[in-house]
Every structure is written in C-alpha cells, then in structure tokens.
Structure 1
C-alpha cells in the first residue's frame, strides 16, 4: 500500500511548480522505499539515511517521473471477473491448491484459524502486489511474511481472470485498479470509533477505513526539514574561515578602537600635566616626579627625607627643673624643722610610745596590768584608761610625726625625678660633669646627694648650675624637633599628592602600552591573515560545490515533504468525494426496517482537517448531528461499510472481496446487508467473493438466493486442521440452500432427508420471501396464534394466512398464480392434505412408518422450486 500510494503521489509532481530537484529527491525515495519505510524519527534514523543516499547519488538521479503501470498493453486490459486462483506455498498453504472462481458469487465458510485470511491475502497479493497486514507488522521483506513457515518456501499465487471479451488472462497486480475491491473487518472496526476521536483524528480514520494508515504513518516519519546536525549547509571549512574572518574583523576593529584610545590617552596625559603645573608637559612631569637614568625624582627624594629618623625629645623644661628644685629645698627645710621639734619632745615621745604599747596589749590581757600582772581591781590606776587619756594629750605629736613621714615620702619622690633629669642630661651630653652625680638604680638618692648638687665644681659653677644649663639646652633642642616634625607632616602631605599623580601616570602609561601592543597585534593579524590561511581559503573554494549540493538537497527535501503531507492530508477528501448520496442509499438499505426518523437524509463526510462526520435524518434533513451522540456503534459500522461499498461501486471495481466483514456488524443488520448484497440491484453485475466464520450466516446467504443462483455459486468450506500443517479445503461442500439440498437428496433416493430439507425450505420461503411478497402487493398484516409467548410461528398457520391473502380478489399482482398455485399445492385444502402430512412426517422420527411416495415428494420439491423461481 505504501509503495502504490507513493507512486500515485509521484504523478502529482509533473505540474509546473515542482522543481527538478524535488523530482530527483522523490525518485531517490522511491528507489530506496523498502529501506526507508521501517526507519523512523528516533535519533534521526530516516533523515540520516535520506541525506546519505542523496549525497551519494545526487548527480546520477533522474528528474523524470515515471508513469504508473496502468499504461499497459491491450492484451493486459483490466478484468471483468476472476476465473481461478492457484496458491501455495503461501502463508498457511504448504502446497499448491487450485480454486475455481468462475462463479459470480464465491462463498467461503470456515471457523477462525482454518485459513480464510491466507486465501484473501493471496487475492490481495495477486491484485495489489502487496499485503497491507505485512506492512502493518513492519515486514521489510513481504516474501518473508508470506512464505509458509512449515516448508519455508514462498511461491507467488497465480490469478486468472476474464477480460471484457471473455478471454482468460493472467491478472497483473495493479493497486490503482483493484485497491477498492477489498472490504475488511478491521477497517470497519476502526471506523466505528471515528466519532469518538478528536476532529483532526477523524480524517486519519477515513484513511484507515481505506487501508491508508500505513501510508499515513510512513509520511509522518519524515521530518519537516533537514536538521543541520545531519547535513552540512554552510561548510566546515567555510565556518572555520568565517570564524577566522570574524577574528580578522575583530583585529580591524581593535586597530580602530585602540588608535582612538591613544588619542584619548594623550588628552588625559596633557590634562594631568596641566593639573600638576600649568604649562607643564606630561613627559616633563614624569621626569620630575619619577626621575630618570641620571636624576632622582621628586617623589623618591621626599621619601628618602621622610625615611630619616627625627631626634627623640627629652621633654625637659628649665622652668620645671627650677620648680622641682624649689620644692625639694622647701621640703627639706620643713623636714629638718619637724625633726628638731620632735627631738625637743623626745621624753614625751617616749611616753607616747609607752602608752601606744599598753593600748595595743589590752586585747591580750584586758583584766591584768600589762607590766606587773596585778588584777585591775587591785591597782590604784587602770593602766589602759590612763594610757588612752595620756595619748589624747599627746595627739599633736602624732600629727607632727605623720606630717614628717609624708614630707619625707614627697621629698624622696622629688629627688627621684631630679635623678631622672640628671640621667637624661648624662645620656645626651658626653664628657658630662653630671656623670659623677648619676644615681645608680640600686642606690637611693638622699639629702647628701642633694647637698652635693649645691656645691661648686672645679670650674667654679655648682652642679646645679650645670644641670640648669644642660636642661636649658635640651629644652631648645626639643623645640627644634617640634619644628622638624611639623615640616615632616607637610612633606608627607606633599608626598601623598605627588603619589596620586604618580598613580595616574602609571594608569595612563599602562593604557598607552596596552593600546600600543593591541595595535601591533592587530597589525600583525591583518598583515599575516591571507598567508596563514591560504590553505583554508583554498579548502573553502573546494567545498563550495558540495555545500551548494547540500543546500539544494535541503530545499528540495523541505518542499517535497510539504507536498507529501499535503497529498496525505488531501487523500481522505479524494477517497470519499461524491460518495455521500450512495452512502445514504446503502446505509438506508442496511437499515430498511427502521422508522423514517432513523433513516438518513444526508451524510457529510470529513473532507478536510478539523471536520467531523455529520448526519441528518429524513424527518429533518437540515438538522445535522454527531453520530456519536445519536447512533449506536452498530449503526456507525453500517456507515463505514456503506462508504467502502460506495467506493467499490463508484470505481466500477470488477469484484467485491469480503474478508469476514459482515461479522463486524451486529445481528440486527445482517439480514438487511445480505439483501442489499444479493437481492438489491447495486451489486447484481459484480462478482462477489465473501468469507465468513459463521455457518448460520453462510446458510442464510444460500437460502436468500434463488435456488438457481445458489446452485450457480461456488461454495467452499475451510476445515479445521488435523495433524498436517496444510490448509484443508472442502471443494464440494454440502449445499446450504434447502431446495438444492432437497433435490440432491431426492436424486440420491434419500426421500426422508429430502422432505426434511423441503420443510426447512418451506419455512424459509414463507417467513422471508412470500410474506414480503404479500406485503408488497396486498395486506401483509397477519393474525397469528402462538402456543406460548416464546413459541415460534407455526408454519401451517402462517402458510394458510399467506395463501388466503394472495387468493383475495383485490391482490394487485396480476401474475399471482405463479405464487398461489405452488403454495396451494404445498398447503392443500386442509391440514390433512397428503402433501402437508408428508412435509410434517419428514421432520419427525417414527418407527415402522410406511415408505414415502416418491411422486408425492417430487411434487413437493417441484412446488418449492416453482415458488422459489417465481419469487
């Protein structure tokens, strides 16, 4: 199916808007169709294969689209009927079997698994050249699917047919001519779900109804365009060269940018020099601040000066020295005065010490005299009380002693400060006269040391005078250090200012160096580009042809896939175009017993994307409905079958082949479908080949047909397999038509069996054909009596009422005697007629009954044959 449909698609590429490149690619695909069909979109399998095939074969591909094979010679003209089929080894046939198909009606019965599908696949392969089931099961090699597994062999079936002149010719497979000859159960099953699908899915199921689902799936696996991952549309060398040219353009831009940068830097350099000193040049400022080979810069010079250490201050002051000396002299005088006062009161001090001692021992001996241990109650004077009273009298002496201690401590501290001043002077002046008056850390200064400072030295000056002179000198030196410190801070501020200029100079120099280096690099890149990339430039020229070919392939692929998808989407509309009226006729024929409100007036088939299947009924033809909402699944299946049969009629297909499709229809519609096929005139001129697995359906078809037509039909029975693996076929199966069976039994002198079949024939004719005949020309309303609510209609009662209706004077058929006479012969004047008793006795078991009269039986069979022929 995929091959045939793709070949039909190729014929649409002969219009003027299609380029030769698209045709070349289309021919490439058809040449490799078997390899491409199983490939999908996963990891780009199909597109990779297409690209590789196109690149390897592009220059050798033809742009000419070959016509379809229907341009055949005169002796290969289409057939009007199938004649015979020889098949095997093929699928279930392990050896060759020959089927006579010369009848206009070929009926095949067999349970599931007996080989009916293998028979139909042989017809499909012979007529179409492929088997759709093999494609749906992804068999790349159909012969592997069609070979018989038991003998591991395959032989193409041989199908013969009759042409318009009645000549027997081999049938040449042609999908375009014969694809609508087949009606399959699975397609009707899928169609029954069409209304339950989204609108976009419905047109796909129309394709499925006609067996195009494999072609639809095949088209879907073509990506819309070729991904650059799978084809080089630019050129690897060209891409590399373009990247290098981008670098070259970058170099040119760098050259331009950095030249402008140098201009900016020069402007900033002059602004910096002017900011340093008006009228200065940048290079002069750099030389002045940073120095050169022969000169030291101002910054280095100041840094060197600031690195020189400043003298340490002595922090001595002549005024402080004189103040300290005065304090020491005064304090020493006070100490001497107090000591003298205390010496004059030495006796009193002795008593004071005594009284202090007595007071201190009071706690240890509170009840006895501390001197004689006499109890206090015996002494004349309490020593503790007496001591306390006397100490109060001597309190001023204690105060003078405390003052003396404080003065001595203060004087010692002052003398210590003085010794530190002496030490400081000795550390600052070498060969110092004061060196002899230094006090060691382990020696304590005293009044004698102070007195020595007041004595004159050898030069006539006192030591104190020398000390005063040196302190005065150190005080002056401290002033000089303070001035130097202030000057140092000024220099540090200036250095910080100059360093900021230096930093800006460094920034500008770095920027100038960077820009200059970038300019040099860009100039080298520009100057050396053609030389360094000479081979690459040559390679780019060499791959131009290949890239142009790839671009051509890519453009052709995109356009071709778009056309292929458009063709695929348009197929449903093409398949069902102008079928609406015939679909309505057939559907109503399938449902002939329904009320007018249930019969169709119109059907709108989905002809484009996003359209839905819609129907209207005869009672309101302008109101359309979704079949899902108003029809049962069985009725939807009837629409699917009607579409397939309408397509078969429109295409004037010579044969209608059913592979068990009617069993996809519910029981309520089977009789009407049989009547549509075999009673109505739609298919009267068409050969019908029908397979079914239901014996009752098989029997009903035989009895629906006139006995003469049933006798002329070809009936086959596929039998269950025994031990062998070959399909078993009964080419002479027993007739299912009751009249034919009765005649055959009678001819073999099986009189009782002939009567049994005659009784069944009588039931079939009266309940089916005679009753419809009466309803057509007269009053078909009967009053029937039943023995119980579930009892069948009694044949005698039915037959008599039908005969009575036909015998009425107002019955409108002028040739009613052809029906009335044989019916009257069978029924007789009463239930005791010989003919009727024979019909009944032939169906019941009795012992020791009299033999049946052959003449009576012959009369019954002749009457049934006449009745059947007349109807």
Structure 2
C-alpha cells in the first residue's frame, strides 16, 4: 500500500492547512492513521475489522500524538522541476536483472523492445521505484520490498541508481517524490482498467479517474473505512444507563405517590358516573346498598329469593274445546239416528232394491232370455215383459233409498271421528291433571275412565243429571273452566317474573363493575405503599451502581471524543477523495481533446470531438460532443468503443503530463494496450509532433511492427533503442543497445558499408515506401493531398512508382505552394524516377527486392547514389509551415507572378 500511503500523506498536507480549520482531535486521529498506516490498511471493513483496529489505536495514542502536520505530509506540488530529463539507469540485481546493467538516455526517445519475459517490466519497475519510491504492483500484492524486488537467483536486490540531468545540464541522483513524478508514467494496466470501467456499475465507476492516475489503492483504502466506530466504542456508560433507568423509574414512583389523591378522585368520578348511568339520580353508595351483601341484604338478594322459588305449572286446558267436542259428538249421533229412522221406514223397499240389483247383475250372462224361466225376450215367442227393463225402471224408482244409504255411511264416519275427538280431549285433560281411579273427585275418576265404546254413544250417560242438578259432563266442563282460570293467573305471574329477571341481571352486572372498582382501589393502595417503600430505600439499594457509574464516566467521555474525531476525519477524507478528480484533471479538457483528435485523425470529421468535459468530482461523468452534433452532450463511456476509450485514457494522461510540464514520459507497455488501428495516430501525435518535441519519452513495447514504424518515421538522431532477448540458461537478459535497427535507411547504409548491394537496395526501397507515405501526409496537411494515381484494379494499392510520380506532379503543379522542403522533395523524387535525366535508379530499386539467379553485379556507385539520395531526402523535416511564414511566402509568390505578367505585357507591346 505504499502508493496509497503517499496519497494519504498528500491528504495530510491538505488536512493540516490552517484555513481549513480542522479540529485538533481530527488532525490527531489522521496523524495516528499515518503512524499506523500499514496496520490500518491491512484491515478490511468486513466485520468492522478496521473499526476495531482504529479504536485500539485511538485509545492508545489520541492524547499523546501531536496535532501538527507530520514531517512526511505532502502538499500539492507546483510545476517546478529540479531536473530536465533522465540520464542513466543502473539496475541489478533487481527483479529479472541478475547482474548490473546500465542504460543511457542520450536522446529524446529511448525504446526498449523485447518479447514478454525479457525484462521490460523489471526495467519500468526500477524507474518507478527510483522516481516514486514505491512500486504499485508490490503494494497491491502485499509483498515486502525485500521479497518482491529481489532477483530469485541472487536472493537479493540492489536499489536501482537513476541519474538525471538538472536544469544546468549537470548529472545528479534523483530523489524519489511520488506526488511530483507520478504523472510521468503511462501504464498499460491503467489504460486497460480505464477501458473496462465502462462495464462496471455506477458505484464502481466512482474510481474512474483514480484508476487512470494510479490512485486506485488510495481509493480502495478510503473505501474500507467503516461508517462509524459506534459499535466498538463505549459511548454510553452501562452503569450510568442502568442508574438513569432506575432513577427514571424512581421518578415515576414519586409521580405515582404524588398523584395518589388525583387517582382516587378520578376513580370516585368514574364510580359516580356509572351510578348515574345505571339510574339517574342514584349515587354510588346507593348502588352499593341495592347490591347488598350477606350482612345487609339489598334489592339483589330480594330478587334472588323471589326468582329462586318454584313456579306453578301451565295445564293448557280449554273449556271451549271440551264443549265443542261434546257438541260435535252429540250432533253427529242425532243425525245418524235420523237417517237410520228414515231407512227403517223404507224396509220393504230395501228388499226390492237388492232384488233389482241382483237381476241386473244376471243380464250379462243371459241378455236375451229371462233369467228365471228362460223364455226368450225377443222373437215370435217371447216373454210379455222384459225383466231387465223392469229392474232398471224399479231402481230408478228407488233412487231416494240409495241416497239415504249413502248419507248414512257418511254420517257414520263423521260420528266416529267426533267420538274419537271427544275421547282425545278427555284423555288429554286426564293426563294434564294426573287423573287416577283412586281420586276422591268423581270428575277425575270419570276422566280417568270415561267408558269409551265407539259402537255406541258412550258419552250420553255423562249427560244424565245427578241429585245436585248437574250432569257429570257439565261438572267436567266446569272443572275445565277452573283450570283455565288457573292458567291465566299463572301466565300473569310469569309475565311479571321476566321483569324481575331483567332487573336482577342489571344488578348482577353492576355488582361485577363495582367489584372492579373495589379491586382498583385495592391495587392503587398496594402500589402506593410499595412505591413509598422503594423511594425510601433507593440510595441504599443502588449504592454499588452509583459508585460504578462515577468510575465509568471518564472512559465514556474519552470514547465520545474519539467518535467525534473519527466522524470529522472520515468526512474530510471522503471530501478529499471526492475532490481528487477535479484536482487531477483541472485544465485538461482542451489539451486532452486535441490529443484525442490527433490519435483519431483518420476518423470522419463528424466523429471527432467538438468538446470534452472531464468530471470535477467522483460522481461526475466524462461527457463529450461530436463535431456532427456539437451541441449534444453524451456519456463518453456509453458511446465510445473500447479502443476509443483507451485512446481517451492515454490522451488524458498525456494532457496531465503536459499540464505539469513533466520532462519525461514513460510508456510502461502502454502501446500494447492500444489497438493496431490507433497506434499510427499515437505514433504521429506523440513521437512525431511538435507538441512533445521537448519531452523525453521512454517507451517499452513487444510489438516489433510499432518499433519498426517508429524508427522509420522518426529521425534516427532523436532516438536510441535497446533490445532485450530472453536468457540462454544463465538467467540474465541479453541486452543489446543500438546493435540492431529496424530503420530501413540505417539498414541500407549498413549493407552498403559491407558491400551487400542487394540488401542495400531492398532496404532503400522500403525506406522509399515510408518516405513517400510521409510526403503524401505532408501534402495533406498543406491541403494538397488530392492525387491522381492509376490503380491495377478495384481494391488495389497504388504502385510505388505511380505514387512517386503523382507526388512529384502534384508538387510541380502547385506553383503557389512555397516550403523550404519542397525543392529537396522534388529533386529527390526526380532522381529516383530518372527525371529529367534518365537513369537506372528505379530499375535498381525495383530489381533489388527480387531474387534473381546468375545476374550481373550491381553498379556499386549507383547503389551508393541511391542510398545517399534517400539519406538526403530523409533529412527533410516535412512539417507544416507556421501561418505567418506561409502568408509571407504566398505574398512573395503572388508578387513574382505579377512582375512576370507585367514583363510579358511589355514584351508584347515592344513586338
């Protein structure tokens, strides 16, 4: 966590500024965290481990640590540099370097090329340790420096020795300064992390700028502080809390005692209100009298006695029903007697009626003969009277007799029903009064056994008048009247009894409520007595707790002091972290936009940036506007591809390096984080532009193509290169300095010096390809990039000779284009193409790249001319002329054209 510690020291410098007015305890706690930084940083926020550690540290040292800024506290640096560039680095044993190796930085650009595992990372870590005093990777992996920096084969390490050139050009040793030199580094990991952050959640995007500028460890360090220390602090005295709780209870007890009279009055008011609601005008004392008790019975006891007594039965006897039963039976009997008498008068007719019916029944068997004598009823000889007709006529005459017989049968049934109904009424009467044969009352005995015989009028004997002038039936009816009157009296008694029951229920409910009032009075009296006793014994029973609370109060006060200091400290620490993006990228918008557009110079004009707005706090977003919609702001991480996001990250870091006027920029494998499409733009914007012409650049890369392009597009006097090769068994990287070059012109010169004419021509042609591309781009910058070039077919690349001819023609035709390098380019292209004087130069350039067996040797003089011509052409700067100089040149050309035109006019007049 060394880099995080350096950033924390910067925070201390910010915190201890007098104008910030931070409390002494907050500054003391911040200083304690600095003194115990490794211990604090090792504790995560999970399970409040960091809070636990901080509480222990604060309790041990808050009162003894100074509140002044510690000696190691850093303040925000100014753009004043004590050196102008790196001079040399001696490294080893260190990481992958087993023995000391010395690297010189004599030119503006120093390249370190080699495959993975050849030592480039170790070299960059040596520079990082020398300039910053720490290596982020070691801190992130929590490996001790002795272990991390040691060469595994030597088992030890020697601190790298980095020499710098001061402003006076003198060599001196650099003093590490993390805050001052951190912006000299552009690392691959930071660029990749920056590009991946677009896929993270909104909360994780807070560390966007921190990750880009290498402050991720500090950002994480701040994030692991818990919200509070409350769970680890004794903020409230347990004994004091218990004592206060008991005192609060004591206060409530005192209030209870003081409110005794009031409570009694309230209870009495409730009692009086209830008595009034029970019966208007009734007092509660009168209500209690009505309720009574065993010693003084009241209305309730009287009602209980009345209602608990047995009630008389209900007989349910109806005298009218009895009379109706007697009447119905007698009436039906009289009707039966009358019908029977009338039938008796028609006894003779009855025999004929039966005879006629019998005769008609025989008609079906002998319909054509007399049933008595067999005489035919029809024909010549037949009976004088038809017996069947005679029988039918007789029955018609006896129709009244048939009707009487039918009436007798119906009356007989009605008589039987009336007889049985009378029996049922008498039987029910007997049951209800409990009639027995042994009863002294003849009426009861008659009811028990009325002599029922449904074949005769069995009730008629009861109609016989006795010596007293009354029949037994009349006496029974009179007895029914007596029982009916008794039922009336019983029903009247029962009706009045319900009112008594209702009254008793009201009194019983009142008695329950009165019992509740009594219980409340008793409970109130008990509480008052117990409360008075507790108040009198409080101090004595709580003496031990009172003493413990007094002893605990000092520690609670100190923990509250720690709590206040931590809250202030954490608020300021988070404020500092939140302000970091604004501090880091202030003033970078314009420069970062320009560099980004230079990286993407081949993009469509509408896809280039019109505006760039970098965030000023950790919640902010990177917003930008495209030239195609300059007024519309969009979120950069939402609309840019991963490759463009990486370019944006590099542009921001480069803008920061320029802003702080860093004399050296170190690309720690950063080129390999950029896709191939954008590497050319970065090469031109960083290594070939005037923007970084006075900045020393150190670049490590394992892309041979990028190193090749770099060496061929940048003048050889501006760069030096080291090539790292894997060890051959001795675990020592093989380092070669400028012993091999990818520069085609240098390769051509080396081959020329060795007499290798073919390879000299091959490298020369490759150099011409690079140079012609440079010329085309140079013309494009001067608005002359439109060429007419014949192509072999659709999608084909222009042939090199065609391109050179088109370039020369474009320059020849651009009479108004004035540039110091123009004559050299035109002359050089003419020499190559054989214009105006024909030559074999192009033939050699074209043939030198092809294998041909048994051909004649090349003309070494011509080969030398070709190489020297290309060397002269490559010395040209091919830069855009400043606007003022271009305007002067344009004016001169226009004046020359005007003078020439005037001269031609005079010649014409003279002729």
Correspondence for 2:123 among 119, 123, 132: 119
Partner SS for 1:140: coil
Q: Does residue 1:84 correspond to 2:86, yes or no?
A: no
1:21 and 2:21 matched: no
CA separation of 1:453/1:314 partners in 2, compared to 1, >3 Å: closer, same or farther?
Answer: farther
Answer yes or no: is 1:651 the counterpart of 2:652. Answer: no
Find the aligned partners of 1:181 and 1:158 in 2 and give their Cα distance.
18
Compared with structure 1, are the counterparts of its residues 128 and 522 closer, same or farther at alpha carbon in structure 2 (3 Å cutoff)? farther
CA distance 1:386–1:836, change in 2 (3 Å): closer
CA distance in 2, matches of 1:787, 1:828: 21
- State whether structure 2 residue 799 is matched by structure 1 residue 791: yes
| Residue 98 (structure 1) aligned to one of 82, 101, 118 | 101
Q: CA–CA distance in 2 between the matches of 1:672 and 1:277?
A: 106
8 Å CA contact retained: 1:580, 1:603: yes
Check the 8 A contact 2:314/2:490 in 1, yes or no. Answer: no
Give the Cα separation in 1 of the matches to 2:476 and 2:270: 58
Deviations 1:557-609 (A, max 9, x none): 44333322322232222223345676578678878999999999987654456
Structure 1 residues 523 and 122: alpha-carbon distance in aligned structure 2, compared to 1, 3 A threshold: farther
Equivalent-residue separation in structure 2 for 1:251 and 1:685 (angstroms): 87
Quote how far apart the aligned CAs of 1:84 are.
Answer: 1.9
**487-496 or 265-274, which moves further after superposition?**
265-274
Cα distance in structure 1, aligned partners of 2:269 and 2:552:
51
Worse-superposed segment, 552-561 or 139-148: 139-148
Is 1:211 the counterpart of 2:219? The answer is: no
- Going from structure 1 to structure 2, the CA distance change for 1:724 and 1:353 (only over 3 Å counts) comes to farther
SS of 2:52's equivalent in the other structure is helix
Q: In the alignment, what sits opposite 1:298?
A: 299
Distance 1:790 1:589, change over 3 A: closer
Offset from partner CA, 1:703-757 (integer Å, 9 cap, x none): 55555555xx3x221236778877554456313445655665666x545478548
Q: 1:632 to 1:441 in 2, by over 3 A?
A: closer
Offset from partner CA, 1:26-70 (integer Å, 9 cap, x none): 345445655665877xxx617x12321122222223344423377
CA distance in 1, matches of 2:350, 2:33: 140
Local SS of the residue matching 2:58? helix
1:689 matched to 2:681: no
Shift in alpha-carbon separation, 1:512–1:149, aligned structure 2, 3 A: farther
C-alpha separation between the residues in 1 aligned to 2:325 and 2:622? Answer: 124
User: Paired residue for 1:56?
Assistant: 56
Matches within 5 A, 1:638-677: 640-662=649-671
Post-superposition offset of 1:182: 0.9
1:180 aligns with 2:183: yes
Quote how far apart the aligned CAs of 1:108 are. Answer: 1.1
Query: What is the DSSP-based 3-state SS (H/G/I as helix, E as strand, rest coil) of the residue aligned with 1:160?
Result: strand
Report Cα offsets for 1:391-419 as digits up to 9, x if no partner: 66878997998889988996897799789
Evaluate the alpha carbon distance shift between residue 725 and residue 740 of structure 1 in structure 2; reply closer, same or farther with a 3 A threshold. same
Residue aligning to 1:735 = 741
Report the Cα distance in structure 1 between the residues aligned to 2:425 and 2:605, rounded to whole angstroms: 141
- The answer to whether the Cα contact below 8 Å between 1:759 and 1:843 also exists between their aligned partners in 2 is no
Partners of 1:278 and 1:314 in 2: how far apart? 42
Contact 1:29 1:50 in 2 (8 A): no
Question: Quick one: structure 1 residues 140 and 678, their matched pair in 2 at CA, closer, same or farther if it must change by over 3 Å?
Answer: closer
Question: Retained in 1: the 8 A contact 2:235–2:560?
Answer: yes
- For residues 146-189 of structure 1, the C-alpha deviation after alignment (integer angstroms, 9 at most, x for no partner) is 57898696746523324648787665543113211112345456
**Structure 1 residue 651 displacement after superposition:** 3.2
Cα distance in 2 between the residues matched to 1:336 and 1:643:
136
Q: Distance in 2 between matches of 1:503 and 1:834?
A: 136
SS at match of 1:489: helix
1:272-671 to 2 correspondences below 5 Å: 273=275, 281-287=283-289, 289-312=290-313, 351=348, 354-355=351-352, 358=355, 361=358, 365=362, 374-375=372-373, 388=395, 427=435, 432=440, 434=442, 438=446, 441=449, 443-444=451-452, 462=468, 464=470, 479=485, 482-483=488-489, 485-514=491-520, 516-517=522-523, 520-521=526-527, 524=530, 528=534, 530=538, 544-545=553-554, 547-579=556-588, 605-608=614-617, 610=620, 640-662=649-671
Separation in 1, partners of 2:851, 2:315: 159
Whole-angstrom distance in 2 between the partners of 1:587 and 1:490: 110
Q: Quote the offset at 1:6 in angstroms.
A: 2.1
| 2:111 counterpart of 1:107 | yes
The alpha carbon displacement at 1:209 in A equals 3.4
Contact 1:148 1:154 in 2 (8 A): yes
Q: CA deviation at 1:14?
A: 0.6
Deviates more, 1:637-646 or 1:852-861: 852-861
CA distance in 2 between partners of 1:20 and 1:587 (Å)? 46
What is the DSSP-based 3-state SS (H/G/I as helix, E as strand, rest coil) of the residue aligned with 1:573?
A: helix
CA distance in 1, matches of 2:391, 2:316: 57
Rounded Cα–Cα distance in structure 2 between residues aligned with 1:152 and 1:359: 159
Instruction: Flag the 1:500–1:181 CA change in 2: closer, same or farther, 3 A.
Output: same
Assess if the C-alpha contact under 8 Å between 2:623 and 2:634 holds in 1.
Answer: yes
- How much has 1:792 moved relative to structure 2? 1.0
Compute the displacement of 1:517 (Å).
2.1
> d(CA) in 2 for partners of 1:266 and 1:779?
110
The reply to whether residue 128 of structure 1 matches residue 158 of structure 2 is no
How far is 1:11 from its partner? 1.5
Gaps spanning 5+ residues in structure 2: where?
76-80, 376-382, 878-911
Q: Tell me the equivalent position of 2:896.
A: none
Structure 1 unmatched runs, 5+: none
Q: Partners in 1 of 2:432 and 2:775 — Cα distance?
A: 158
1:67 aligned residue: 71
Aligned length: 837
Change (3 A) 1:97 1:802: farther
Pick closer, same or farther for the CA change 1:197–1:5 going to 2, 3 Å.
same
Residue equivalent to 1:45: 46
Q: Name the TM-score, length of structure 2 as normaliser.
A: 0.68
**DSSP-derived class of the 2:71 partner:** coil
State whether residues 615 and 626 of structure 1, in contact with CA within 8 Å, keep that contact through their aligned partners in structure 2: yes
User: Aligned equivalents of 1:850 and 1:329: distance in 2?
Assistant: 173
* 8 Å contact kept, 1:25–1:556: yes
Cα distance in 1 for partners of 2:92, 2:779 equals: 47
Q: Determine if contact 1:426/1:432 at 8 Å carries over to the other structure.
A: no
The change in CA–CA distance for 1:387 and 1:181 in structure 2 (over 3 A counts) is same
TM-superposition CA deviations, 1:774-801 (whole Å, max 9, x none): 999x999999998977211489979999
2-structure distance, mates of 1:298, 1:66 = 96
1:79 touches 1:171 (CA, 8 Å); kept in 2?
A: no
Query: CA 1:350 to 1:705, structure 2 compared with 1: closer, same or farther past 3 Å?
Result: closer
Distance in 1 between the 2:866 and 2:444 partners?
Answer: 179
CA shift, 1:524, in A, is 3.5
> Do 1:359 and 1:388's aligned partners in 2 also have CA atoms closer than 8 Å?
yes
Question: How far does the alpha carbon of each residue in 1:649-699 deviate from its partner, in whole angstroms, 9 at most, with x for none?
Answer: 443445321124446667787677656656666656654321223334323
